[in-house]
A and B are shown apart, each in its own frame.
Chain A
Amino acid sequence: MIELTETGIDGLDEILNGGIVNNSTTLVSGNPGAGKSILGLQYIYNGVEQFGEKGIFLSFEENAEDLRQAAESIGLDNWAEYVENGDITIYDKQVLLRENDFSSSLELLLGELDDDNYERLVLDSLTMFKLFFETEREQRTYLLKFTDILAENNLTTLMTNEQGTVFPETDISLENFLTDGNIYLLQTPTDSGVNRYVWVAKMRKKNIDTDIFPMEISDGGITVHQNASAFSMMSEDESPI
């Protein structure tokens, strides 16, 4: 029996067929504004609130205060309290990039992992992490080593990844092969705003629903709608067959 980590996000665990495989690394790709960081915040927060699992949030993009505001804006009201009492540990960009020395922050992080306190980790973003390596080959090698280390420390990880066009002209980069799962967040502009979709393209060791599902980001965070017919392109009624 494969053990699963639930995201606690409305509708997402259902299309993941229960959740994310324990100790795996899943890539969350999408273009800016697609909701990658929000998904990460909810994943860590829900871990504490719903499942009593501690989490680590690594952000190269924002500082701790930005993260708190982002969390509170989607109704994760106890974020500050969880950070305060150590259920959520944040390494923000100020810490990670202190004196331009990511190496010492990394040592600090690896030391922290050794204690086996944490079950969830978010890296926001892999795009920035990769900048610390000089060649593509190095990036691949060290991404694999890093995911190994995380798995060995019993962490179930989400890594966000900036990606331009993901659908329909999918540009598949190497990271997609190196990680255990791939979730894409898509957005298309409409007259009234933006339509959002989530597509779980891959999840190693698991049967998943690989359809594309509509999702919303509101005051309460992300909601995935399982009713695929809400996505008119895939509606059975309109099927030509």
Chain B
Amino acid sequence: MSSVDLLQTLGNKYSAEILDATDEPRSAQELSDELEIPIATCYRRIDELTEHNLLELHDNILSDDRRRIKVYRRNVDEVSIDFDEELTVDIEERTEVTNTLDEAWRTLSEG
């Protein structure tokens, strides 16, 4: 996926708002209600963001009326754009417990 595509996706209306709101897992319906996004647009944005790995399907939870609901969570902490040399978009992935342990463990084996 090219950097320009990624920027395009980020720049689409509501994309930033969705990423901002998905610190905790949220369903499409919740996002649509909270951010006042038409539901069809909301689904489309979620698909685009997921495709670029900026958002991830976190879980299929069971609703009160016993239906499965998909909830999404942001997969990124930071995006930086570099125009020096050539255009690069760097995505800082969200820190996870696994990353933290991997990092600490690597330090051990090096030490």
The reply to whether A110 and B104 form a contact with Cβ atoms under 8 Å apart is: yes
User: What are the residues of chain B within 8 A of A110 when measuring CB–CB?
Assistant: 100, 104
| CB 8 Å contact bits of A90-133 with B (1 = contact, 0 = none) | 00000000001011101100100000000000000000000011
User: What are the residues of chain A within 8 A of B104 when measuring CB–CB?
Assistant: 110, 145, 149
The reply to whether A142 and B98 form a contact with Cβ atoms under 8 Å apart is: yes
Task: List 23 interface pairs A-B (beta carbons < 8 Å), by A numbering.
Answer: A100-B24, A102-B97, A103-B96, A103-B97, A103-B100, A104-B95, A106-B100, A106-B101, A107-B100, A110-B104, A132-B97, A133-B97, A133-B98, A138-B98, A142-B98, A142-B101, A145-B101, A145-B102, A146-B101, A148-B105, A148-B108, A152-B108, A152-B111
The reply to whether B95 and A103 form a contact with Cβ atoms under 8 Å apart is: yes
Main SS at interface, chain B: helix
B window 62-111: CB within 8 A of A = 95-102, 104-105, 108, 111
Give chain B's interface residues, CB within 8 Å of chain A: 24, 95-102, 104-105, 108, 111
Q: Which of B24, B104, B108, B111 has the most CB of A within 10 A?
A: B104
Report the minimal beta-carbon distance from B44 to chain A, rounded to whole angstroms: 27
Q: For the complex, what is the distance from the CA of A145 to the CA of B97, rounded to whole Å?
A: 12
Q: For the complex, what is the distance from the CA of A104 to the CA of B96, rounded to whole Å?
A: 9
